Each structure stands twice: as C-alpha cells, then as structure tokens.
Amino acid sequence: MLSEEHQWLAAQVRDFADEVVAPASYEYDTKRELPMGIIAQMGELGLFGLPIPREYGGQGKDYMSLCVAVEQLARVDQSIAVTLEAGLGLGAMPILTFGTTAQKERHLPALARGQELAAFGLTEAEAGSDAGGTRTTARLEGGQWVIDGTKQFITNSGTPITSLVTVTAVTGQRQRADGRTTPELTSIIVPTDTPGFTALPSYDKMGWHTSDTHPLLLENVRVPEENLLGERGRGFSNFLAILDQGRVALAALCVGAAQGCLEQAVEYAKRRVVFDKPLGDNQHIAFTIARMQARVSGARALMHEAARRLDAGMPFSQEASLAKLVSSEAAVANARDACQIWGGNGFLNENVVARHYRDSRVLEVGEGSTEVQLAIIAKHLGFDKALVG
C-alpha cells in the first residue's frame, strides 16, 4: 500500500498525464519528436528532481516516488515516461551515486530542474548484456582523458537540453587471480559540447517514437581528468549497480503500460455493444480483462517491493530482476489483449493501445533483456553454472 504522500503524488501526475500528455501523444508520436514543452512542464512540476537531495536542487523524495511518477506517465505515453526514467535512473543517478561533491554541485541542480538531461553511454555493437565487449577506449594524456569509440541505443543523448553523457570506456587491462587479463572499465563524464562528441541521426524505431535515442561517435574526445566518475576500473561494478536501480524504475514504466492497456480494455468492453449487449458481457472478454488485472497487480506488487528494499538500503538485485521480468511480460501481454478487445480500432496508431502494442516490445529488451533477468534470478538461486553459454 502506498503512503498518503505517494498517493497524492500519483494523483497529481495522473492528472498531468491525462490532461497534458495524453492529448498531445499521438501528434508527437506521428512527428517522432520529443515535446520539449511537455518536458519543461515536467521539470516545473519537480519530476526530474524527485529522488535528488534538496541540497542539490531536488525534491529530496525516495526512489518509490520516482516509480510512482513513471507509472502514471506510462499509462498514456511510454516515450514520455522513459524520458523521465532514463533522465533520472540512468542520467542523474550515476552522478548522485558515484560523483564527487564538485561533480554533484556542478551537474545535479540543472538536471533536477529538468533544464538539462543526462544520458548513460554503455551499449555498443558488441557490448550490451556483455559489457566485457566494450571497444570504446580512454587514455590519460596531459591531464585529460582522450576517448575514442562508438555507442548505440543511448536514450536522451541528442535532445536540445542534453548536457552530458556518462561513457564507459576501457582504460587498461587488469590481471586476474588465474593469470588472465580482463578489460579495465571506467566511467567518464563527457559534456555534449566537447569537440569530437557527435550524436548521430536518431534511429527509425518500431516504437517509443518520441523518445530521443541516438548512436554516438567519440573521436579524439578530450575531457579533464577530474571528469572520472567513481574510481578508475570500477565502471563495470558501478554500471551494474545503476542498472539494478534503473530496472526498478523501468518496471514501474512496465506496470504503467500494463495498467493503461487494462483501463482502455475495461472502458471499451463496457461501451462497445455487440449483438445488442456490451462486449464485456461476453465471458471470454470479461475473463481476459480479469487476467489483465491479475498481471498488473502482481507486477505492481513486485515493483513496490523492489523499490521499498532499495529505499531501505536492503539488497534488491533479485527483486529488481523479478519486477522487471514479470512487469515487462505483463505489459506485452496486456497490450496484445487490449488490441484484440478493441478489434480493428486497436490497429489504428491514433489509439493508445496500438502505440502500447508497438512500444511494449522493447520492454523485454531494454535495461537487461528477459534472458538477463532470468540469469540474475537463477544466480541468486545458486545456479551459477547454468549461466555459462
């Protein structure tokens, strides 16, 4: 059960989503354009500063508050929801979690106000689930990091207000106990106005049309040595910690998408008359919608438990993966069922259920695929060997 404060926040964001985001959603989806005016309003509402401490210009709320906001936005527009989720979970949180005091004071206030956005540059052509495949390199030269490489599928990396990307790069090799060497991964803050940094043209995506997503090119990019984020060589463990946090917020997005599909199915089944009776009087339709409700309730409970443990400082990696796994599958299944219930009208892009059908597919891939979540859960159950191959 959410606290009264969380319930109040949910109501406020729900109203904003229904009154501001939803009416504009189809227009911007068609334009494939991130509505910067709506993003600015979200900043004014304090949404981008929810879990950021007040000393850095944020709201000083818990991570559950971010999840509550993301869920309500995702009901009507996943692209807007992921802009918030990634802007905080992958953009600001690495700086808040691993940054120096100077880095926090420099970057967090503008991020918390939604005046700037940050991105997390991890994924490459050969490095996503397998971060060991990272090919981007960084070397120290004259007090500067010199970075060369490419990144792909980077959310919020090319908006008019994107100010920085935290990039993971190979900064050397480390000797293992068994004598083998492994890449030393390090995280480095790269301002987007740095010469040599280029956000290449955005992708032509199946869904999330208004979410800003680009491949990145870094050619002889030079940033000060103090742009190191966290300890040198700790980039791998740090990004795992950030992804665990991010999965909780992405699970909230999945829950919101599943809830949005449920609401649309209920509304249509009560309104649509077929053979002189409401569609919902058909037992199969009623049972389908009941199963949709069951998926939402189960996914939300897992997401809340993961967020609760995160806020309490308890281990939450397994809970985050459980929440991400179940909620992403719930979103995909509910989108399919909602489209089926809406029939031909559910095939029209102007209908939010059609957009959910397109958008939800990526939820089983982004921030750790279904297979990655299963591997993490299996590892927690003691089946480490099952992960090989």
Residues tagged active-site: 367
Contact yes or no for 75/257 (Cβ under 8 A): yes
DSSP H/E element including 148: strand 144-155
Q: Judge contact between 268 and 342, C-beta under 8 A.
A: yes
What does the radius of gyration of the chain's CA atoms come to, in whole angstroms? 21
Backbone angles phi, psi at 53, to 5 degrees: -60, 150
- Written as one letter, the residue type at 286 is A
Cα gap 76→86, rounded to integer Å: 17
